[in-house]
Chains A and B, each alone.
Chain A
């Protein structure tokens, strides 16, 4: 290392070392990558060249920083002579390697890791990205060809418009026809494909109109010119085709961005997992994990399947699954679910359900394939779009004979007006503005931690009048807090003993007590033989007496009263309450002005009343002591309602509400019953949801209004002959672009 020099990143540091001739072959060996060298892994990441002596790999690298990284990685052939070619694509972090056959993937991975990057070999299945870019590439080629033809046709047409006459004019016109052929035969292909699709589905499609305009106008232009010497419309058509293709390409790009996968960390099928087979640790692919196998889950790893805990204890972060941020304690034999994260040491888990069969996975997959067709608004928009097209065609068919015979405008003028009408008509807002807006709304939702089950949710959100809240876990955190004790101030040594009892407990009560007394007690009592009966009591030996904390069996059964006993003597009563979420008051005050708010909770009525009053909700909307059926009834009797609750406990009510939102609870259950699941805890996502819905609806409305207005005005002007085919060709794509930008603007 060059002494005293500092580098901006490891790559630069390495490059400087490299200048001195340092080789990277000597590095400490790590066996973490060895699994890559054998089947089935290696088969999926390596492609072999024809003569078997060279192999190709593609890696995705994390940690790329600056152009030094590019230089360093592309110098790999100089670092290891078995690497023959190394090419980096900086923006998508992909490294393509060509290596000789004696270099193993694990060695490659080690070298790259040593350089400071996190390597991930890409398999063929992960090259789906390429398919999308293939479509995009194909469009670009068509755009290039269309642009070329357009440029040259415009050149010739401007000359004609500027007064060219004579044999040169003839020559120019013939050249224009020839120049149009690439558009007709190549650039127009996407439209023909769309038109055929429409025919197969027996429904009218925008591409049909476009194809019709294109082909018929070309034919008429050519015949018209050759036979009658009339004007041609090829410049308009070329401009039209060119601009529409660009619009299509922009949409494709916008759509491809919204295809970010939710499940990418969790359920990649080729991800390596460790199992224990005959006492020997093996690494296999996720998709090969089968029930009955023993999975080894390391610390900070997410459980990919449902299973049963074989180890004696487990300490799991269940936030992804249940929304609870506090880790939970599990014992041998208990069920564990996909999505939980192990926080301590290696665990042995018996696989019960294959990853792709778990409810969680299924729920996530379903939520991925959000079917836009479920949206009522979209359906409506689609219908209107089709109507516009029908109307245009009908109008065209009607007015053409009128122009020709009644008004005696001549074939050219009549055809010109018909063409203008067809070209200018664009239900664009509806054809792609709508779907795009929804896609963008869904993408935005994903970003904000909302899982929305269908686009229809946004539609319904616009009609909401009531917001119904569950209490515990929704308006409150679900965490307990010590609010009162009898006696008010416990003797310090009582508190010390209490903390001693709860020292190793992860029970919510334990957390509350630690929070309350932790600062006050300097020395926690040495309580021996501590035993916890989950959900009931904890007891232990102190000073030769058995002390315990027990649920006091008073009240409704909710965990809010705990008694501190010495033997059977009640020393103190401890009262706990659910902490209200910090954002609850502000969120509710924002909602109060627009909606009717109510609380429907299983908690004691008195508590519900006091909370509701504190939040400013009118008493007739406060309901306590509600059973699940009561809640369901309540929801049913209040149409146009959003219900927020626990995805598991309030399942029925959530299902019945117009928009049921699972604020907490196990994820897979929630996805089954609720329309929306919050991945972030708290109520703020509700505001996000409302914001997105509002923006979506505003955007749709704007587009809708624009499309109607545009089609009416432009169509009329076309029929009046004021808008010529050339002008039509320019303003139609402009209107499409307008719609596109409007949609994107709402969801930047």
Chain B
């Protein structure tokens, strides 16, 4: 079970990474408006002309 000597720090590092991502997101205002983004995605885009 000494595998946990690896897994524990790894899992905590991963978790810390996500925690930091959360705090950064909070600070840069990602969670200020939790209503409008749901509507924003429904806007449809127009047809294009360039050949693909």
Q: Do A and B share a direct contact in the complex (Cβ within 8 angstroms)?
A: yes
Q: Which residues of B contact A148 (CB under 8 A)?
A: 15-16, 19
Complex alpha-carbon distance, A270 and B14, angstroms: 50
Complex alpha-carbon distance, A140 and B40, angstroms: 25
Contact assessment for A137 and B36 in the assembled complex, using a CB-CB cutoff below 8 Å? no
Contact assessment for A89 and B5 in the assembled complex, using a CB-CB cutoff below 8 Å? no
A152 within 8 A of B: yes
Contact assessment for B43 and A91 in the assembled complex, using a CB-CB cutoff below 8 Å? no
Contact assessment for A141 and B23 in the assembled complex, using a CB-CB cutoff below 8 Å? yes
A71 within 8 A of B: yes
Complex alpha-carbon distance, A244 and B45, angstroms: 46
Contact assessment for B23 and A144 in the assembled complex, using a CB-CB cutoff below 8 Å? yes
A90 within 8 A of B: yes
Interface residue from B15, B32, B36 paired with A152 (Cβ < 8 Å):
B15
Contact assessment for A168 and B4 in the assembled complex, using a CB-CB cutoff below 8 Å? yes
Q: Which residues of A contact B49 (CB under 8 A)?
A: none
Contact assessment for B35 and A141 in the assembled complex, using a CB-CB cutoff below 8 Å? no
**Known contacts A91-B33, A168-B1, A140 near B26 by CB under 8 Å:** yes
Interface residue from B1, B19, B39 paired with A67 (Cβ < 8 Å):
B39
13 contacts between A and B (CB under 8 A): A70-B43, A71-B40, A71-B43, A88-B36, A89-B36, A141-B23, A141-B26, A144-B22, A144-B23, A145-B19, A148-B15, A171-B4, A171-B8
Complex alpha-carbon distance, A74 and B39, angstroms: 11
**For window 31-52 of chain B, which residues contact chain A by CB distance below 8 Å?**
31-36, 39-40, 42-43
Nearest 6 A/B pairs, CB to CB: A67-B39, A91-B35, A89-B33, A90-B36, A71-B43, A70-B39
Q: Which A residues are within 8 Å of any B CB, using their own CB?
A: 67, 70-71, 74, 88-91, 133, 137, 140-141, 144-145, 148, 151-152, 168, 171-172, 175, 179
Complex alpha-carbon distance, A89 and B34, angstroms: 8
Residue-wise, chain B 1-23 has the 8 Å CB interface mask toward A (1 for contact) of 11011001000100110010011
The interface residues of chain A, by DSSP majority, are classed as helix
**Known contacts A141-B26, A145-B19, A168-B1, A71 near B8 by CB under 8 Å:** no
Query: What 19 additional pairs, Cβ within 8 angstroms, besides A74-B43, A91-B34, A175-B12?
Result: A70-B40, A70-B43, A71-B43, A89-B36, A90-B35, A90-B36, A91-B35, A133-B32, A137-B26, A144-B19, A145-B19, A145-B23, A148-B15, A151-B15, A152-B12, A152-B15, A168-B1, A168-B4, A172-B8
Chain B nearest CB from A231 CB (Å) reads 20
Q: Which residues of A contact B34 (CB under 8 A)?
A: 91
Q: Which residues of A contact B19 (CB under 8 A)?
A: 144-145, 148
Contact assessment for A71 and B26 in the assembled complex, using a CB-CB cutoff below 8 Å? no
Chain A nearest CB from B50 CB (Å) reads 19
Complex alpha-carbon distance, A46 and B4, angstroms: 57
Q: Which residues of A contact B2 (CB under 8 A)?
A: 168
Complex alpha-carbon distance, A71 and B22, angstroms: 28
The interface residues of chain B, by DSSP majority, are classed as helix
Q: Which residues of B contact A70 (CB under 8 A)?
A: 36, 39-40, 43
Contact assessment for A91 and B4 in the assembled complex, using a CB-CB cutoff below 8 Å? no
Complex alpha-carbon distance, A90 and B40, angstroms: 10
Contact assessment for A74 and B15 in the assembled complex, using a CB-CB cutoff below 8 Å? no
Chain B nearest CB from A595 CB (Å) reads 48
Complex alpha-carbon distance, A145 and B39, angstroms: 30
Chain B nearest CB from A742 CB (Å) reads 28
Q: Which residues of B contact A137 (CB under 8 A)?
A: 26
Q: Which residue, of A70, A91, A137, has the highest number of chain B Cβ atoms within 10 A?
A: A70
Q: Which residues of A contact B12 (CB under 8 A)?
A: 152, 175, 179
Q: Which residues of B contact A175 (CB under 8 A)?
A: 8, 12
Complex alpha-carbon distance, A171 and B36, angstroms: 46
Contact assessment for A89 and B43 in the assembled complex, using a CB-CB cutoff below 8 Å? no
Complex alpha-carbon distance, A179 and B42, angstroms: 42
Q: Which residues of A contact B39 (CB under 8 A)?
A: 67, 70-71, 90
**Known contacts A88-B36, A168-B4, A67 near B26 by CB under 8 Å:** no
Interface residue from A74, A145, A172 paired with B40 (Cβ < 8 Å):
A74
Least CB separation from A147: chain B residue = B19
Q: Which residues of A contact B40 (CB under 8 A)?
A: 70-71, 74
Complex alpha-carbon distance, A144 and B26, angstroms: 10
Q: Which residues of B contact A144 (CB under 8 A)?
A: 19, 22-23, 26
Chain B nearest CB from A163 CB (Å) reads 12
Least CB separation from B22: chain A residue = A144
Interface residue from B5, B16, B36 paired with A91 (Cβ < 8 Å):
B36
Q: Which residues of A contact B33 (CB under 8 A)?
A: 89-91
Contact assessment for B32 and A89 in the assembled complex, using a CB-CB cutoff below 8 Å? yes
Q: Which residues of B contact A88 (CB under 8 A)?
A: 36
Chain A nearest CB from B46 CB (Å) reads 8
Least CB separation from B23: chain A residue = A141
Complex alpha-carbon distance, A145 and B12, angstroms: 13
Complex alpha-carbon distance, A168 and B12, angstroms: 16
Q: Which residues of B contact A140 (CB under 8 A)?
A: 26, 31
Complex alpha-carbon distance, A74 and B23, angstroms: 27
Least CB separation from B32: chain A residue = A89
Complex alpha-carbon distance, A172 and B40, angstroms: 46
Chain B nearest CB from A20 CB (Å) reads 12
Complex alpha-carbon distance, A171 and B12, angstroms: 14
Chain A nearest CB from B45 CB (Å) reads 11
Complex alpha-carbon distance, A456 and B29, angstroms: 41
Least CB separation from A148: chain B residue = B19
Chain B nearest CB from A113 CB (Å) reads 21
Contact assessment for B35 and A89 in the assembled complex, using a CB-CB cutoff below 8 Å? yes
Q: Which residues of B contact A179 (CB under 8 A)?
A: 12
Q: Which residue, of B8, B19, B22, B36, has the highest number of chain A Cβ atoms within 10 A?
A: B36
Chain B nearest CB from A134 CB (Å) reads 11
Chain B nearest CB from A660 CB (Å) reads 45
Chain B nearest CB from A138 CB (Å) reads 9
Chain B nearest CB from A490 CB (Å) reads 66
Q: Which residues of A contact B23 (CB under 8 A)?
A: 141, 144-145
Complex alpha-carbon distance, A624 and B43, angstroms: 72
Q: Which residues of A contact B42 (CB under 8 A)?
A: 67, 71
Complex alpha-carbon distance, A70 and B22, angstroms: 26
Chain A nearest CB from B40 CB (Å) reads 6
Least CB separation from B43: chain A residue = A71
Q: Which residues of B contact A133 (CB under 8 A)?
A: 32
Complex alpha-carbon distance, A91 and B32, angstroms: 11
